[in-house]
Amino acid sequence: MRFLLDDEQREFARALDGLLGSAGTPGVVRSWACGDHGPGRALWGRLAQAGVFALAVPEEHEGLGPLPVELAVAFDELGRHAVPGPLVETVAAGALLGRLGGDTARAWLPQLASGKAVASLCVLAPGGSPYALDADAADAVFVVDGDTVRLARSHGPVQPSADPARRLARPLGGVVLTQGPAVEVAAAHAADVAALATAAQALGLGRALLERTVEYVRLRTQFGVAVGSFQAVKHRLADTLIALEFAQPLVHAAALALAADDPAAGREVAAAKVSACEAAYGAARTALQLHGAVGYTDELDVSLWIRKARPLRTAWGTPTACRARVLAPDGRG
Amino acid sequence: MDLDFTAAEDAFRAEARDWLASHVPSVPLPSLETAAGFAAHREWERTLFADRWSVVSWPGEFGGRGASLLEWLIFEEEYYRAGAPGRVSQNGINLLAPTLFEHGTDEQRARILPPMASGEVIWAQAWSEPEAGSDLASLRSTAVRTEGGWRIGGQKTWSSRAAFADRAFGLFRSDPDADRPHRGLTYLMFPLDADGVTVRPIGRLDGKPAFAELFLDDVFVPDEDVVGEPGQGWRIAMSTTGNERGLTLRSPGRFIAAADRLTALWHSTADLAHAPETAHAVDSGSGSGSGSGSGSHDTALRDRVADAVIGARAYRLFTYAHASRIAAGGSIGAESSLNKVFWSELDIALHETALDLLGPCGELSDEATEAPAHGSWAEGHTFSLAGPIYAGTNEIQRDIIAERLLGLPKGRR
């Protein structure tokens, strides 16, 4: 057993961190929030060059995958830098089409892997979201409805989310691409990939919030000392770190389970999803509280991270649904 | 990155599982915090030792199997999965022994470790004093040089299992003129029946004499019972508390086993709730249940069961990552404080959930003849409540996390 990222995976993370650290993501997010997708699509192209979108696409369709561990590594960095766009949905659509194969896979997967096409995905199911994320920015919106996959024709009006970088719209109409029992199996797998990517994204988001808040409380002084020297502040930050540190191995184990096609992977993914997203939301609450009033403004960039945490918590598996899955005998819940 | 065991590790697991299946008492032993229970647990240590299962990670010459850290984790998983008794020797095995391996002499290891492994000599710790708890370095008990050894005096307290144990180890101030409180301390071992030692048992929350006060009046300790260099006791003891907080005191196996038992309890209580007269109300509920036909009647409790299962799993995986880091040449430092806060809070949450699942019968003490599961949930709950206090309070741990892992400035405690 060697339950640690290997050197190559660590190097991949460092490379993405370097790329994103100099990309000015807060500006990209603010443009995206106004419906100006230009800077976001440019960044998308660079991420594609780094291999991010090929990780969920099988090699036979010009991808590198499926590589769930590397996917988790990449999404950790995407979350850390608050990259906007249907990132999760694009890799989940890749997982869906990869499982289904056929003409649709041949037509779309190389485009997704290379970053030429951006996809969104909506799985219509009880308890699931009726919206496709960033449908207005996507080249293809795939809709799973029971045993049918459709390519949406258009979408309804854009509904703003609590996270300004998330723009939601109902997919409308469209042509049936595939139908049959294989769709439900492939869609369940795609939902697992989406939940894993969301969990990893939340982990990176939480870590960024913790780092920024630690930095802030070291500099901010009141009563003549750094507020970070107060025990009430320290303990809150310690708890934030604990939650993130214990969520991370769950995310890695879930990625390994998906990589091994483990029949219990659904349970592992659910445990990772709820833990990582609760930890990230806790980090956001801590960041807001310890920044004080200045954290409660949209002028400070940290708000872009804070506002992401809540929507990630319910996207691709609410906390309650994840907990039910953890205890379900088949891990499906 | 992988979570795979080797064939040899699988074989080790199978051997441990087989042995435990044929040796673990079918009825739980009486609480080890009572005289009768202590004696029964001492006997169990002898049984473990006879087949070299009491200290698997120690070298063979001291009664162990030279098991790797991962094999030790495997053994612990099997041990608690089998419902085996608590370890009455744990203070010696987990706290003193690692210190002797690192700082002791060959003579000390040969003399002390085998009887510790067999349960013949059971050790208690003597760290805290009435005026030195979290601020342990302010301790006042003294050690004064005399011919051939030291004479110790003062008062120690919260000494776990000292009411029934044979010997104790702790820190004593040997140089009252040292410039800093944590300098000039010496690590000493002494018999609890020595001349000048008075042991006063203290009842814990449920009245059981789980710890004791020690009054030390001019007790002679020979040089051979000094651990490491005189005056270096703080540094030596800190290597021990790192072990205590970190991997070795609370292995993930305990929580995996407890979470499994909690899940079984949840299923059994859910099945009761699914009697025909309540089935309709359940079916017309939120519909977001597990789909297994059990437990969906109370999603609040179900969520807490799930959180305990997730927490136990997270702790196990976190430990595997730590073990992998150590195998790759790394070490555990302040990170052990993350473990300590996590497992101690998990332990309480897990037992509270169990007591809530038991409903009105959950209040029965472990001594009640009708207590569910032989009182193991009640006893476990009482024990878990001490977790955030001992081995360095969780407040101290959070200070360590904030200062050493996050780099926040030191401040007033």
pLDDT at B181: 85
**Exposure class string for A126-158: b at 16+ Cβ within 10 A, else e:** eebbebbbbbbbbebbbbbbeebbbbbeebeeb
Classify residue B99: in a domain, yes or no.
no
Q: Is A303 on the interface with B (CB under 8 A)?
A: no
In percent, the amount of chain B with pLDDT more than 70 equals 91
Question: In chain B, which among 229-268 make CB contacts under 8 A with chain A?
Answer: 263, 266
Task: Say whether B287 and A235 touch across the interface (CB within 8 A).
Answer: no
Model confidence pLDDT, tens digit, residues B262-310: 999 999 987 766 554 443 333 333 333 333 333 446 889 999 999 999 9
- The full 3-state SS of chain A, as one line of letters, equals CECCCCHHHHHHHHHHHHHHHCCCHHHHHHHHHCCCCHHHHHHHHHHHHCCHHHCCCEHHHCCCECCHHHHHHHHHHHHHCCCCCCHHHHHHHHHHHHHHCHHHHHHHHHHHHHCCCCEEEEEECCCCCCCEECHHHCCEEEEEECCEEEECCEECCCEECCCCCCEEECEECCEEEEECHHHHHHHHHHHHHHHHHHHHHHHHHHHHHHHHHHHHHHHCEECCEEHHHCHHHHHHHHHHHHHHHHHHHHHHHHHHHHHCCCCCHHHHHHHHHHHHHHHHHHHHHHHHHHHHHHHHCCCCCHHHHHHHHHHHHHCCCCHHHHHHHHHCCCCCC
pLDDT at B282: 35
Question: In chain A, which among 305-324 make CB contacts under 8 A with chain B?
Answer: 319-324
Model confidence pLDDT, tens digit, residues B76-125: 999 999 999 999 999 999 989 999 999 999 999 999 999 999 999 999 99
Residues near A261 by Cβ (< 8 Å), separated by ≥ 6? none
Please report, for the domain that includes residue B347, its CATH number.
1.20.140.10
Question: In chain B, which among 42-71 make CB contacts under 8 A with chain A?
Answer: 70
Q: What is the mean pLDDT of chain B?
A: 90
Q: Is residue B82 located within the same domain as residue B153?
A: no
pLDDT at A40: 98
Query: Which of A332, A309, A308, A310 is CA-nearest to residue A321?
Result: A332
Between CA A280 and CA A311 the distance in angstroms is: 11
* 3 state DSSP class of B126: strand
Classify residue B241: in a domain, yes or no.
no
Q: Is A10 on the interface with B (CB under 8 A)?
A: no
Classify residue B104: in a domain, yes or no.
no
pLDDT at B369: 93
Q: Is B395 on the interface with A (CB under 8 A)?
A: yes
Of B199, B233, B267, the residue at which a domain comes to its end is B233
Q: Is residue B127 located within the same domain as residue B68?
A: no
Q: Is B5 on the interface with A (CB under 8 A)?
A: yes
pLDDT at B285: 35
Q: Is A293 on the interface with B (CB under 8 A)?
A: no
Between CA B213 and CA B341 the distance in angstroms is: 26
Which strand ranges, in their side-by-side order, compose the sheet holding A175-179? A119-124, A140-145, A148-151, A175-179
Which residues of B are the active-site residues? 244
Task: Say whether A326 and B309 touch across the interface (CB within 8 A).
Answer: yes
Please report, for the domain that includes residue B153, its CATH number.
2.40.110.10
Classify residue B244: in a domain, yes or no.
no
Q: Is residue B305 located within the same domain as residue B399?
A: yes
* 3 state DSSP class of B217: strand
pLDDT band at B332 (very low <50, low <70, confident <90, very high): confident
Q: Is residue B223 located within the same domain as residue B139?
A: yes
Question: Which of B298, B317, B338 to mutate to test binding with chain A, by most A CBs within 10 Å of its CB?
Answer: B317
Domain membership of residue B23 as a residue range: 7-88
Asked if A200 and A273 touch (Cβ cutoff 8 Å), the reply is: no
Residues near A225 by Cβ (< 8 Å), separated by ≥ 6? B409, B411
∠ at Cα B173 (B212, B219), nearest 5°?
Answer: 55
Between CA B98 and CA B92 the distance in angstroms is: 9
For residue B312 the two structure tokens come to 């136990």
**Exposure class string for B242-275: b at 16+ Cβ within 10 A, else e:** bbbbbbbbbbbbbbbbbbebbbebbbebbeeebe
Task: Say whether B1 and A2 touch across the interface (CB within 8 A).
Answer: yes
Q: Is residue B224 located within the same domain as residue B151?
A: yes
Task: Say whether A4 and B409 touch across the interface (CB within 8 A).
Answer: no
Give how many domains chain B has, as a whole number.
3
Which amino acid does the sequence have at A297?
T
Q: For residue B221, list its beta bridge partners.
A: B150
Q: Which residues of B touch A228 (CB under 8 A)?
A: 402, 408-409
Domain ranges of chain A: 191-327
Instruction: Select the more confidently predicted residue: B163 or B412.
Output: B163
Q: Is residue B70 located within the same domain as residue B200?
A: no
Question: In chain A, which among 40-69 make CB contacts under 8 A with chain B?
Answer: 69
* 3 state DSSP class of B125: strand
Task: Say whether B1 and A239 touch across the interface (CB within 8 A).
Answer: no
Q: How far is A152 from chain B (nearest CA, A)?
A: 28
Q: Is residue B62 located within the same domain as residue B165?
A: no
Average pLDDT of the residues in B190-209: 95
Q: Which residues of B touch A249 (CB under 8 A)?
A: 314, 317-318, 320-321
Q: Classify residue B207 as exposed, middle or buried by CB count within 10 Å of its CB (0-12, 13-18, 19+).
A: exposed
Between CA A242 and CA B346 the distance in angstroms is: 12
Of B202, B233, B264, the residue at which a domain comes to its end is B233
pLDDT at B292: 38
Q: Which residues of B touch A127 (CB under 8 A)?
A: 288
Between CA A218 and CA A230 the distance in angstroms is: 11
Q: Is B327 on the interface with A (CB under 8 A)?
A: yes
pLDDT at B5: 97
Of B200, B233, B266, the residue at which a domain comes to its end is B233
Average pLDDT of the residues in B386-394: 93
pLDDT at B326: 87
Asked if A147 and A181 touch (Cβ cutoff 8 Å), the reply is: yes
The topology under which CATH files domain A191-327 is Butyryl-CoA Dehydrogenase, subunit A; domain 3 (1.20.140)
Q: Which residues of B touch A274 (CB under 8 A)?
A: 306, 310
Instruction: Select the more confidently predicted residue: A206 or B181.
Output: A206
Q: How far is B410 from chain A (nearest CA, A)?
A: 6
Query: Which of B45, B68, B64 is CA-nearest to residue B247?
Result: B68
Task: Say whether A252 and B310 touch across the interface (CB within 8 A).
Answer: no
Q: Which residues of A touch B301 (CB under 8 A)?
A: none
Task: Say whether A2 and B407 touch across the interface (CB within 8 A).
Answer: no
Q: Is residue B210 located within the same domain as residue B160?
A: yes
Q: Is B325 on the interface with A (CB under 8 A)?
A: yes
Task: Say whether A214 and B413 touch across the interface (CB within 8 A).
Answer: no
Instruction: Select the more confidently predicted residue: A127 or B213.
Output: B213
Q: Which residues of A touch B311 (CB under 8 A)?
A: 246
Low-confidence ranges of chain A (pLDDT < 50): none
For residue B320, the chain A residue with the least C-alpha distance is: A3
Q: Is A260 on the interface with B (CB under 8 A)?
A: no
Between CA A215 and CA B407 the distance in angstroms is: 9
Helix (H) or strand (E) holding B113: helix B106-118
Q: Is residue B219 located within the same domain as residue B266?
A: no
In percent, the amount of chain A with pLDDT more than 70 equals 99
Q: How far is B13 from chain A (nearest CA, A)?
A: 15
Model confidence pLDDT, tens digit, residues B112-165: 999 999 999 999 999 999 999 989 999 999 999 999 999 999 999 999 999 999
Q: For residue A172, list its beta bridge partners.
A: A154
pLDDT band at B413 (very low <50, low <70, confident <90, very high): low
Task: Say whether A332 and B289 touch across the interface (CB within 8 A).
Answer: no
Q: Is residue B399 located within the same domain as residue B262?
A: yes
Q: For residue B284, how many other CB atoms are within 10 A of its CB?
A: 8
Q: Is residue B218 located within the same domain as residue B260?
A: no
pLDDT at B327: 87
The DSSP bridge pattern shows strands A140-145 and A119-124 to be parallel
pLDDT at B238: 84
pLDDT at B247: 60
* 3 state DSSP class of B69: helix
- Whole-model pTM: value is 0.94
Q: Look up residue B361 and give its DSSP letter.
A: G
Asked if B133 and B103 touch (Cβ cutoff 8 Å), the reply is: no
Nearest to A245 among B2, B70, B338 (CB): B338
Nearest to B324 among A1, A69, A239 (CB): A1
In percent, the amount of chain B with pLDDT more than 90 equals 80
